[in-house]
Amino acid sequence: MTDLHFPWPRQDPHEPGVLARWLAADGAPVRSGTAVAEVVTDGVRRTVRASASGTLWRQGAAGEHFAAGAVIGLIE
């Protein structure tokens, strides 16, 4: 199983960010490098890509705030 982490902001690592929206459904098959979520850190929208191929299991909801490095999903 591979963790999907919330990215580190470019400026203040202590400032939480927001999971803006999921681009892949919970339980969906994903391939390594596929865009699976959009987040907002430092006021900038960024794309989170799958770090492995497998089944995506969401660990957070759109609109939820996360600290840098927090697990937002799992790829099994």
Phi, psi torsion values for 31, nearest 5 degrees:
-110, 150
CB 40 within 8 A of CB 21: no
Q: How confident is the model at residue 66 (pLDDT cuts 50, 70, 90)?
A: very high
Reported as a pLDDT band with limits 50, 70 and 90, residue 10 is confident
Mean pLDDT of 31-35: 97
Spatial neighbors of 62 by CB under 8 A, at least 6 apart, are 19, 20, 21, 22
| DSSP single-letter state for residue 10 | S
What number is the average pLDDT over the span 69-76?
96
Domain range spanning residue 17?
2-75
Predicted structure pTM score? 0.88
Q: Quote the number of domains for the chain.
A: 1
CATH classification at residue 37: 2.40.50.100
Q: Which residues contact 14 (CB under 8 A, 6 or more apart)?
A: 67
